[in-house]
Amino acid sequence: MTVQDTGLVTRVPDARLNDIIKIAVLAVGGQGGGVLNGWIVSLAEANGYAAQATSVAGVAQRTGATIYYVEMMPEGARNPVFALAPAEGDVDILMAAELMEAGRAMQRGFVTPDRTTLIASSHRALATSEKIVPGSGISDPTAVLAAAREQAQDAIIFDLETMALNAGSVISASLFGALAGSGRLPFPVESFRDTIRASGRGVEASLRAFDAACAAAKEGYSDPQDVAPAKPQAEVHGPEKLVRRWSALVARAEALPVPVQDMAKAGLRKLTEYQDIPYAESYMDQLEAISAQDKDAGGTEHNFAFTETAAKYLANAMAYDDIIRVADIKTRKARVARIDQEMGATDDHLVQVTEYVHPGAAEFVSLMPAPLGRFTNNRPGLYRFIDRMVNRGRRIRTDRFGGFFMFYLMAGLRRWRRSLLRHQEEVAHIDDWLTTAKGRLSQDYALAVETLKIRRLIKGYSDTHARGLAKFDKVMSGTLLVEGRDDAADWTARLIAAALADPEGKALDGALETIRSFTTVGRA
């Protein structure tokens, strides 16, 4: 065999390519991704490395993260040419400021078991795609955690967000600390701290977050069970008379069947915060009556599933969303403090808050005393006139006295809520719903439970509430078609799932057609 000289020159790759360190950071607005990106570059340059940083902006409102990308290598005689964006299978360190961003990075091939260290926070900041689903659209965090263990060479995942907040800083500082603690960069930890000090802003808080995360990463700390940490129950404070009434309510909840107690207590907390103690007492009155009826219908054998389900959905129904509720939440001291904390507000850093509202005639009339509201609803001309006057978008600055005071006055209508049209309409709807469910209890226990669950379709206010109410009515009508069948509960559950499948209700319409196809055969 002879070897022919083709004239081709074989190029040997520059050995220095192996010295390039490639870091990708995925973060959304407000998480300090740009600051972290700058810190990494400054750190590299301070230690004799050439570095280049780029960023590809995502879309606002949690529909996409900004990808920050850094390449670095020891400085030499010639200036290196770095890549502008990360490539599949070619990332040494992937940092994600939120758990699902880590999942997206793995889907895109940025995390590989042969080289990538994955550093991610286990907390969740829900994406728009998760929020718009009529039911629960929250992605399963366990799948991301399992994938991280398989796809990353090393996975460092814990709640970096909470760690940063506890230090009075933002997540970029704790991510930087986790990076230092991982040991993947050939720089001393003190050099990381010097980089933070050189930034000159929020240094002490950033160093506290940095040190906590660095120590946790060095110890191999991981808390995947802390993806959704349980909120500690706040102690009850207030006038002695009201505290006694609250204690009496808790005692009544603890007298209910054991499977119901936790849900009943949660309902009491929700309704007391929503309205007041007497409102929570009315909830407990209904729940005790439901429990007695449940027991007579054989609830013990079913682990009191009917009462437990009623405890959940009755509380949600009674805490319906209205303009008063929205105004109440927007003017709470805790909300103002949270915004200031997230924005890093100080005496020298003022925050402007603009609320966007778009009320229509329905919202305006719902705030009227019930007789006046019914009078208005029965006069189409008057209703249309009101709609023309109020149905327009408004931007209201709640960091100013005028805008805040407007919302504050609106929230103050809570004390008269029970006399308003919206409340009386909600009460009538709740009564009809519970009457239907309780009427099925002795004939078909499972169907009665599913009837209670239909209430989950109703939420929000304005157009959102109207769409949910329309779906509720459709599903209730569907249950009438299957009532008396052995599989009535199964079909009701399918209707609920179909109603939650899409906002337009196409899946629900299809499920109803299926039911009509086998329940109307032979009917005149």
Per-residue model confidence as pLDDT tens digits over 479-503: 999 999 999 999 999 999 999 888 8
Given a cut of 80, whether residue 443 has pLDDT beyond it is yes
Residue 394 phi/psi, 5-degree rounding, is -135, 140
* Stated pTM of the model: 0.71
DSSP 135: S
pLDDT digits (tens, 9 = 90+) for 91-122: 999 999 888 888 888 988 999 999 999 999 98
Q: What Å distances lie between residue 337 and 43, 127, 293, 342, 399, CA to CA?
A: 33, 23, 45, 9, 12
For residue 233, what pLDDT is reported? 55
Q: Where are the domains of the chain?
A: 18-226, 335-401+414-422, 441-524
How many percent of the chain have pLDDT more than 70? Answer: 89
At 2, list the tokens.
């002879």
Q: What's the burial of 343, exposed, middle or buried (CB within 10 Å: 0-12/13-18/19+)?
A: middle
Residues 6+ apart with CB under 8 A from 114: 153
Q: Which pLDDT band, with edges at 50, 70 and 90, does 132 fall under?
A: low
For residue 501, what pLDDT is reported? 84
Q: Which pLDDT band, with edges at 50, 70 and 90, does 338 fall under?
A: confident
CB 175 within 8 A of CB 213: yes
User: Quick one: average pLDDT of 310-336?
Assistant: 93
Q: Which pLDDT band, with edges at 50, 70 and 90, does 464 fall under?
A: confident
> What is the residue whose two structure tokens read 């009460």?
427
> What is the residue whose two structure tokens read 């009809």?
432
Q: What is the distance in angstroms between the CA of the first residue and the CA of the last residue of the chain?
A: 91
CA distance 518 to 14: 73
User: Quick one: average pLDDT of 282-302?
Assistant: 96
CA distance 404 to 413: 15
User: Quick one: average pLDDT of 40-62?
Assistant: 83
Amino acid at 217: A
Q: Which pLDDT band, with edges at 50, 70 and 90, does 58 fall under?
A: low
Amino acid at 466: A
pLDDT digits (tens, 9 = 90+) for 356-381: 888 888 889 999 999 999 999 999 99
pLDDT digits (tens, 9 = 90+) for 401-435: 999 999 999 999 999 999 999 999 999 999 999 99
User: Quick one: average pLDDT of 231-243?
Assistant: 73
Strand pairing category for 66-74 and 154-158: unpaired
Higher pLDDT: 230 or 305? It is 305
Q: What is the DSSP string of 488-520?
A: HHHHHHHHHHHHHH-TT-HHHHHHHHHHHHHHS
At 285, list the tokens.
């009155």
Q: What Å distances lie between residue 174 and 77, 197, 219, CA to CA?
A: 35, 15, 15
CB 76 within 8 A of CB 65: no
For residue 225, what pLDDT is reported? 47
Q: Which pLDDT band, with edges at 50, 70 and 90, does 520 fall under?
A: confident
User: Quick one: average pLDDT of 467-475?
Assistant: 93
User: Quick one: average pLDDT of 296-305?
Assistant: 95
- The structural architecture, per CATH, of the domain 18-226 is 3-Layer(aba) Sandwich (3.40)
For residue 32, what pLDDT is reported? 73
Amino acid at 340: D
